């Protein structure tokens, strides 16, 4: 335990450096974007009617006349203070927009993560216990299929069955008014509808968690202590849940934490399929309109969420498994 504090500090340090480099890469790549920000803001036609002096003033106002590193530092300074800048296209501050979109995205990501944990673990344990039976084989085949299917196919299938054929859910989710309703109110009133995009989002990660759980549980079930427990007459359920699962869960927990990052990054596709107004869709719009401050903001938010999920995976792994030495 006494090595734990230095380990955490080191990991946090690495995470900070990673975030810094990621922000630099995102910022740097955006600098390569053809065309000037003023150009994007005003559009080609307006640009000609404006005099050179007005354009210069505008650039000065946006801080675009400063050297690139200065612009980067100003941007990071804003980030730390919670100021994400102003959108070129929407001409509004970005922070409130990103926060409200992040909320709607979490409405998908949180249930998706829960589904991944529950379904992934349950299927994994089940197929490990029933190893080499038809149950195990069908779960294996199903999870292989889940890994080979692009998310937009799963989503399109859900829309086709439940929207086109059964008319249970709307085909486009941006028709639902999500503004001004509380988070829990939203969940309770739209649970039946949101379950479909969430399930689509969870699909791939369920397969990963299932496979990892199955592999580690099978290994655990073959160990001597499990055999001892069985031979001394502990009921099978208790052997599985109390003895084997505690150790078999270790690798699965890491995969789960890692997969939460994947789920957050995966919202982009799901939000496009279901026309869902989340942060991924916002990022895609920003890219299509070449709205640089908005691209920067949404990318930094999504990438940080991903990096923190990986950090959690690392820390959980070392925390839960005392055999791992901190390094």
Partner 1 sequence: MTEKKAPQTGITNFISNLFKKNITLNLIIGGILLLSFIFIGIFAPYITPHDADEMYYEHLKEMPSAEFLLGTDRYGRDILSRVILGTRTTLFVATASTLLALILGIIVGTTSSFFGGWVDIILMRINDIFISFPTLIFAMLVIGVLGPSMTNGIIAIGVIYAPRVTRVVRAQALNIVHLEYIDAAKVGGESSLYIIFREMLPNLWPTIIVEGSIRLGYAILLTASLGYIGLGPPPPTPDWGLMAYSERGYMFETPWPVFAPCIAIVIAVIGVNLFGEGLKDILLAKGSRTKEAKT
Q: Which residues lie near partner 1 (CB under 8 A)?
A: 14, 17-18, 21-22, 25-26, 29-30, 32-34, 144-145, 147-153, 156-157, 159-160, 164, 171, 261-262, 264-266, 268-269, 272-273, 283-284, 287-288, 290, 295, 299, 302-303, 306-307, 310
Largest CA distance in the chain: 90
Shortest distance (Å) from residue 223 CB to partner 1: 14
| Residue 150: both structure tokens together | 């692009």
Q: In whole angstroms, how far apart are CA 176 and each of 102, 283, 309?
A: 16, 20, 30
Shortest distance (Å) from residue 234 CB to partner 1: 26
Q: Nearest-5° angle of CA 58, CA 283, CA 205?
A: 160
On the CB side of 42, CA atoms within 13 Å amount to 16
The residues that bridge with 245 in the sheet, in sequence order, are: none
Shortest distance (Å) from residue 272 CB to partner 1: 5
Shortest distance (Å) from residue 125 CB to partner 1: 21
Shortest distance (Å) from residue 31 CB to partner 1: 9
CB atoms closer than 10 angstroms to residue 230: 14
Pick the closer one to partner 1 by CB: 83 or 219: 219
Shortest distance (Å) from residue 235 CB to partner 1: 29
Pick the closer one to partner 1 by CB: 288 or 323: 288
Pick the closer one to partner 1 by CB: 154 or 198: 154
Pick the closer one to partner 1 by CB: 22 or 234: 22
140-165 burial: b if 16+ Cβ within 10 Å, else e: beebeebeeeebeebbeebbeebbee
Shortest distance (Å) from residue 131 CB to partner 1: 12
Question: Which residues, at least 6 apart from 13, have a Cβ–Cβ distance to it below 8 Å?
Answer: none
On the CB side of 266, CA atoms within 13 Å amount to 24
**84 touches 94 (CB < 8 A):** yes
Using CA atoms, how far apart are residues 98 and 283, in angstroms rounded to an integer?
10
Pick the closer one to partner 1 by CB: 186 or 261: 261
Pick the closer one to partner 1 by CB: 79 or 273: 273
| Residue 211: both structure tokens together | 């496979």
Shortest distance (Å) from residue 120 CB to partner 1: 20
The residues that bridge with 93 in the sheet, in sequence order, are: 86
Pick the closer one to partner 1 by CB: 174 or 310: 310
Question: Which residues, at least 6 apart from 139, have a Cβ–Cβ distance to it below 8 Å?
Answer: 123, 126, 127, 210, 214
| Residue 327: both structure tokens together | 């390094």
Pick the closer one to partner 1 by CB: 22 or 316: 22
């Amino acid at each position: 335990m006494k090595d734990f504090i230095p380990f955490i500090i080191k990991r946090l340090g690495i995470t900070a450096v990673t975030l810094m480099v990621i922000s630099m890469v995102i910022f740097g790549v955006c600098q390569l974007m053809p065309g000037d920000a003023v150009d994007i803001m005003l559009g080609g036609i307006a640009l000609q009617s404006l005099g050179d002096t007005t354009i210069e003033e505008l650039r000065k106002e946006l801080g675009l006349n400063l050297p690139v590193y200065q612009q980067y530092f100003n941007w990071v300074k804003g980030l730390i203070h919670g100021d994400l800048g102003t959108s070129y296209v929407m001409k509004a501050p970005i922070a409130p927009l990103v926060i409200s979109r992040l909320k709607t995205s979490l409405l998908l990501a949180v249930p998706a993560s829960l589904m991944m944990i529950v379904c992934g673990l349950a299927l994994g344990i089940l197929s490990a216990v029933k190893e080499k039976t038809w149950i195990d084989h069908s779960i294996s085949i199903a999870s292989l299929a889940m890994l080979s299917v692009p998310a937009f196919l799963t989503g399109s299938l859900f829309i086709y069955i439940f929207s086109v054929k059964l008319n249970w859910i709307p085909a486009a989710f941006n028709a639902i008014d999500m503004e001004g309703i509380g988070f829990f109110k939203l969940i309770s009133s739209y649970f039946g509808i949101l379950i479909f995009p969430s399930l689509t989002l969870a699909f791939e990660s369920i397969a990963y968690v299932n496979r990892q759980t199955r592999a580690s549980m099978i290994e655990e079930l073959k160990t001597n202590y499990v055999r001892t427990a069985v031979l001394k007459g502990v009921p099978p359920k208790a052997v599985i849940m109390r003895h084997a699962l505690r150790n078999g869960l270790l690798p699965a927990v890491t995969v789960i934490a890692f997969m939460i990052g994947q789920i957050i990054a995966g919202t982009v596709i799901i939000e496009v399929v279901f026309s869902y107004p989340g942060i991924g869709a916002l990022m895609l719009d920003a890219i299509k309109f070449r709205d640089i401050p908005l691209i920067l903001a949404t990318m930094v938010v999504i990438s940080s969420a991903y990096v923190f999920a990986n950090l959690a995976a690392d820390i959980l792994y070392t925390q839960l498994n005392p055999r791992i030495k901190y390094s």
